[in-house]
A and B are shown apart, each in its own frame.
Chain A
């Protein structure tokens, strides 16, 4: 699909980046919870 510069989906790119940040934050938070509950060593 040929798009003019003003038609590029930059808003969706920002939304997807927000999604990635939320995903990574939740993922890391869960590893933190695991490290606190299941103490190794």
Chain B
């Protein structure tokens, strides 16, 4: 029993090896968030055409690393911490095979570090997608493979811990909903990361000159099983975090837990198919293939999101109404704990993900409508709404609970922490919106110069300049909001008041 402590706030038994792994993964996640955020600031100051500070060479290099650091490293390191938290800690269990957990961490750190260094050295200006025949240094692909294998090991430790908890009877009844959601995310993660390993192994061999070039279209099909599906891990984990934050902030429980669990199963079965919208303009796939995968099947995953879109606010509303806020339709919303960064992060994340990210995701992924958005700024506008306003903000909100519960420190600068979700969440929603507006008027994505550095010139509507200016200003403010989160987190670890066990 010496390997456990009892949490003075929740009363949960905390397995110390699990706690160490949660801490190291969470800290590493925040380091990658900081790196990606600094690069994001430089990129937004380049896409803001009136400022335009980076030369093309550095724009593409930094955009590649920004994508890897944010879409993959920050999110998946944080998710590893979440997997250990929702298995060992929430189930009062010991973590199965902690040494495999450390192997997970080391592989991901070495892999992520290799990728970052190779990109910064100029060996992989291939963007996040690294579409063949664009060729990067072999160590870039090796780094991605190591990272993916490490993350798979984290999922293995998670499932092994579920078995240990069940066998040793550390909990009764069904898995808690949050752990259930994390399990769904881990299943999706294994499918996703396997795609990553499968597609990058031949790409590595090709890059090293050992095999002939691979088919570009086959690469794209398999790559998106990794590239987009990795964002579906985020969606699933984010929804689980929403339920967790609802419980932690207002004591909510879902109105109908079985329906919520069914929605998670729908995610497992259908959400990865949504990745197919990336190949909607590829000529090699039939219209029937594209239509089935991006409409009929995908809408079953959308149905799951619709269920959560009602279930999460309904759970919050019922909990607040039970506290006595029953007047009218919206007293519960007015009296909600808006000064609690966990709650404000949850609600802003819900709104940003649903109203901006979710709606545009379905619309842009529709076969006929996709041509309006393909390769223009509408696409990054959409995914900054889902991954940044949605997932990142939810993870930030959860971090405000991980700091006292796992690091046993009171959150530093509580006044700043109260406003941080607003400082980050509202600007990033404006940033996404106006990115999409500019994209709607034809501004291309992944372009260092929208006026055509490739020897041609184009004219845009005056709305584009206004949109890009609002996008630029709100992007800079969002970076400040993100920096505030990093400062609060680091300061908590260094100067945060130690919480003494009672």
Q: Which residues of B contact A34 (CB under 8 A)?
A: 368-369, 371-372
Instruction: Give 30 CB contacts A-B under 8 Å.
Output: A1-B318, A3-B255, A3-B318, A6-B321, A7-B321, A8-B318, A11-B329, A11-B330, A11-B333, A12-B313, A12-B314, A13-B310, A13-B314, A14-B329, A15-B313, A16-B309, A16-B310, A19-B309, A22-B355, A22-B359, A23-B359, A26-B360, A26-B363, A27-B359, A27-B362, A27-B363, A31-B369, A34-B369, A34-B372, A38-B371
Could you tell me if A11 and B317 are in contact, using CB atoms closer than 8 angstroms?
yes
In the bound complex, what is the Cα–Cα distance between A27 and B313 (angstroms)? Answer: 24
Could you tell me if B332 and A11 are in contact, using CB atoms closer than 8 angstroms?
yes
B440: Cβ under 8 A from any A Cβ: yes
Contact check: which of B310, B322, B326, B366 meets A12 at CB < 8 Å?
A: B310
Could you tell me if A37 and B372 are in contact, using CB atoms closer than 8 angstroms?
yes
Given known pairs A1-B255, A33-B440, the reply for A9 and B317 (CB within 8 Å) is yes
B253: Cβ under 8 A from any A Cβ: yes
Query: Chain A interface residue count: which class?
Result: 20 to 34
Q: Which residues of B contact A37 (CB under 8 A)?
A: 372
B396 to chain A, nearest CB (A): 23
B10: Cβ under 8 A from any A Cβ: no
Please, what's the 1-or-0 string for B310-334, where 1 marks a CB less than 8 Å from any CB in chain A? 1001101110011000100110110
| Top-10 shortest CB links A-B | A9-B314, A6-B326, A12-B313, A12-B314, A9-B317, A7-B321, A11-B329, A23-B359, A12-B317, A16-B310
B361 to chain A, nearest CB (A): 11
Residue positions of B touching A, CB distance < 8 A: 253, 255-256, 309-310, 313-314, 316-318, 321-322, 326, 329-330, 332-333, 354-355, 359-360, 362-363, 366, 368-369, 371-372, 440
Q: Which residues of B contact A11 (CB under 8 A)?
A: 313, 317, 329-330, 332-333
B442 to chain A, nearest CB (A): 10
Q: Which residues of B contact A23 (CB under 8 A)?
A: 359, 362
In the bound complex, what is the Cα–Cα distance between A26 and B318 (angstroms)? Answer: 30
The residue in chain A whose Cβ has the minimal distance to the Cβ of B364 is: A30
Residue positions of A touching B, CB distance < 8 A: 1, 3, 6-16, 19, 22-23, 26-27, 30-31, 33-34, 37-38
In the bound complex, what is the Cα–Cα distance between A6 and B316 (angstroms)? Answer: 14
Interface centre among A12, A26, A31 (most CB of B within 10 A): A12
Interface centre among A8, A15, A23 (most CB of B within 10 A): A15
In the bound complex, what is the Cα–Cα distance between A16 and B313 (angstroms)? Answer: 9
In the bound complex, what is the Cα–Cα distance between A6 and B371 (angstroms)? Answer: 47
In the bound complex, what is the Cα–Cα distance between A33 and B366 (angstroms)? Answer: 14
Given known pairs A15-B313, A34-B369, the reply for A9 and B255 (CB within 8 Å) is yes
Q: Which residues of B contact A6 (CB under 8 A)?
A: 321, 326
Q: Which residues of B contact A1 (CB under 8 A)?
A: 253, 255-256, 318
Q: Which residues of A contact B330 (CB under 8 A)?
A: 11, 14
In the bound complex, what is the Cα–Cα distance between A7 and B323 (angstroms)? Answer: 10
Q: Which residues of A contact B329 (CB under 8 A)?
A: 10-11, 14
The residue in chain A whose Cβ has the minimal distance to the Cβ of B329 is: A11
Q: Which residues of B contact A8 (CB under 8 A)?
A: 318, 321
The residue in chain B whose Cβ has the minimal distance to the Cβ of A28 is: B363
Q: Which residues of A contact B309 (CB under 8 A)?
A: 16, 19
Q: 12 other contacts beyond A8-B318, A11-B313, with CB at 8 A cut-off?
A: A8-B321, A9-B313, A9-B318, A11-B317, A12-B310, A12-B314, A13-B310, A13-B314, A26-B360, A27-B363, A31-B369, A38-B371
In the bound complex, what is the Cα–Cα distance between A37 and B362 (angstroms)? Answer: 20
A1 to chain B, nearest CB (A): 5
B362 to chain A, nearest CB (A): 8
In the bound complex, what is the Cα–Cα distance between A26 and B369 (angstroms)? Answer: 12
B359 to chain A, nearest CB (A): 5
Given known pairs A10-B329, A11-B330, A19-B354, the reply for A30 and B369 (CB within 8 Å) is yes
Q: Which residues of A contact B371 (CB under 8 A)?
A: 34, 38
A5 to chain B, nearest CB (A): 9
A29 to chain B, nearest CB (A): 9
In the bound complex, what is the Cα–Cα distance between A33 and B436 (angstroms)? Answer: 14
In the bound complex, what is the Cα–Cα distance between A36 and B183 (angstroms)? Answer: 45
In the bound complex, what is the Cα–Cα distance between A26 and B332 (angstroms)? Answer: 29
Q: Which residues of A contact B366 (CB under 8 A)?
A: 30
In the bound complex, what is the Cα–Cα distance between A23 and B314 (angstroms)? Answer: 19
Could you tell me if A30 and B363 are in contact, using CB atoms closer than 8 angstroms?
yes
Q: Which residues of B contact A16 (CB under 8 A)?
A: 309-310, 313
The residue in chain A whose Cβ has the minimal distance to the Cβ of B322 is: A7
In the bound complex, what is the Cα–Cα distance between A3 and B315 (angstroms)? Answer: 12
The residue in chain B whose Cβ has the minimal distance to the Cβ of A33 is: B372
A11 to chain B, nearest CB (A): 5
In the bound complex, what is the Cα–Cα distance between A39 and B356 (angstroms)? Answer: 28
In the bound complex, what is the Cα–Cα distance between A15 and B332 (angstroms)? Answer: 13
